[in-house]
Amino acid sequence: MTTEAPAPLPHSPFAPDLFQGKRAFVTGGGTGLGLQISRRLAALGAHVSIASRNSEHHAAFLQEAEANGWSASAFVLDVRKLGDIAALVKQLREDGPIDLLVNNAAGNFVCPAERLTEGAWRAVLGIVLDGTFYCTREFGKGMIRDGGGVMLNVVATYAWTGMPGVVHSASAKAGVLAMTRTLAVEWARHKIRVNAIAPGPFESTGASENLWPDEGVKERMVRGIPAGRFATAGEVADHAVWLLSSASDYVTGECFTMDGGASLGQGMWQPGERVR
Ligand code: NAP
């Protein structure tokens, strides 16, 4: 997977200085949804650090940041490595508090449960569940010392609906959702908000290659979405920005679904069918 220059940002509904003076950390912030969240936060004034395993994935964001005068940095990091996260948090906090954490990094692929190897199970649980907890704990310790912060976890609607073929990811995302609700309460006294977003399917290189590798699968999925289409990563990112902002200061432990109605009950009617 390589990154190419993303399309220009649309006109923002948010005040241009919404995140002025804030520092954000976005895992997997160089591609897909993470990139769309990172560029919005940076365009709205935050210093944004992105981190993932492959530095090639950081180039598009760093180039766009330089061209626009955004404040940005990028780090090679595997979120499964607790010691590396702790060292990076220490390094980042030398320049001041980190106010915003977005746990977006993930890995996923379709595999029947009976054929899922121990290694494959561990890989996805390691990135999604362990990685989210490791970042949450290490950045959380800093936020506790610094007097507060905001965290946003990216889950998926199958965390509660389940989805055949992705038992590894569904189990991990369900764990992240439980983590979100638990820490929202546990850390409220430290002025830390912890929320989640649950997107339905949206186009990203990772998802398109691993989850709907051919048009037939994608068409079947779209038929099950009342809104009649996938989301865009940008639409999902706009909602993430809102939850990270002070406009959501009283929202914590919440999981916001953005799936065009796909996870709602449809009774005997197919999406788009006229109710008689
Ligand atoms: P994506 O572009 O493939 O993003 C995944 C990112 O995670 C990549 O930037 C990758 O960078 C990073 N990553 C993977 N393993 C990592 C590790 N061990 N350590 C650090 N970074 C790691 O996919 P996306 O579709 O935008 O997904 C973003 C989030 O949305 C994920 O949490 C996903 O589960 C969620 N989501 C996606 C959909 C969808 O339809 N696309 C639907 C619901 C939820 P490197 O390869 O450089 O490490």
Both structure tokens of 192: 């830390």
pTM greater than 0.85 = yes
SS3 assignment for 211-250: CCCCHHHHHHHHHCCCCCCCECHHHHHHHHHHHHCHHHCC
On the question of pLDDT at 153 being above 60, the answer is yes
pLDDT score for 227: 95
Bigger pLDDT: 212 or 49?
A: 49
On the question of pLDDT at 175 being above 70, the answer is yes
Element housing 167 (H / E): helix 167-186
On the question of pLDDT at 43 being above 70, the answer is yes
Which residue has the least CA distance to atom 47 on ligand 1? 54
Boundaries of every domain in the chain: 23-257
Which residue has the least CA distance to atom 38 on ligand 1? 201
Q: Are 109 and 210 contacting, i.e. CB atoms less than 8 angstroms apart?
A: yes
Mean pLDDT of 20-41: 98
Mean pLDDT of 7-18: 86
Query: Which among 52, 54, 24, 56 has a CA at the least distance from the CA of 40?
Result: 24
On the question of pLDDT at 2 being above 60, the answer is no
β-sheet bridge partners, residue 192: 149
Mean pLDDT of 121-140: 98
pLDDT score for 4: 64
pLDDT score for 1: 52
Q: Are 14 and 37 contacting, i.e. CB atoms less than 8 angstroms apart?
A: no
Positions marked active-site: 158
pLDDT score for 198: 98
DSSP strand pairing (255-258 vs 149-154) = unpaired
Backbone phi, then psi, for 227, in 5-degree steps? Answer: -70, -15
Residue 186 CA to residue 53 CA, distance in Å, equals: 31
Mean pLDDT of 199-223: 87
* Lowest-confidence pick of 2-16, 36-50, 199-213, 221-235: 2-16
Which residue has the least CA distance to atom 44 on ligand 1? 156
Atom of ligand 1 minimally distant from the CA of 236: 30
Q: What is the mean pLDDT of the chain?
A: 95
**pLDDT single digits (tens) 104-122:** 999 999 999 999 999 999 9
pLDDT score for 212: 83
Mean pLDDT of 33-51: 98
What size, in residues, is the chain?
A: 276
Q: Are 272 and 228 contacting, i.e. CB atoms less than 8 angstroms apart?
A: yes
Query: Which among 66, 73, 60 has a CA at the least distance from the CA of 31?
Result: 60
Confirm or reject: Cβ of 237 under 6 Å from ligand 1.
Answer: no
pLDDT score for 3: 58
Burial of 23 (0-12, 13-18, 19+ CB in 10 A): buried
pLDDT score for 273: 87
* Lowest-confidence pick of 86-90, 172-176, 223-227: 223-227
274 Cα–ligand 1 center, Å: 37
Mean pLDDT of 203-231: 88
Confirm or reject: Cβ of 107 under 6 Å from ligand 1.
Answer: yes
What CATH architecture is 23-257? Answer: 3-Layer(aba) Sandwich (3.40)
Among positive and negative, which fits the CA dihedral 25, 27, 29, 33? negative
28 Cα–ligand 1 center, Å: 6
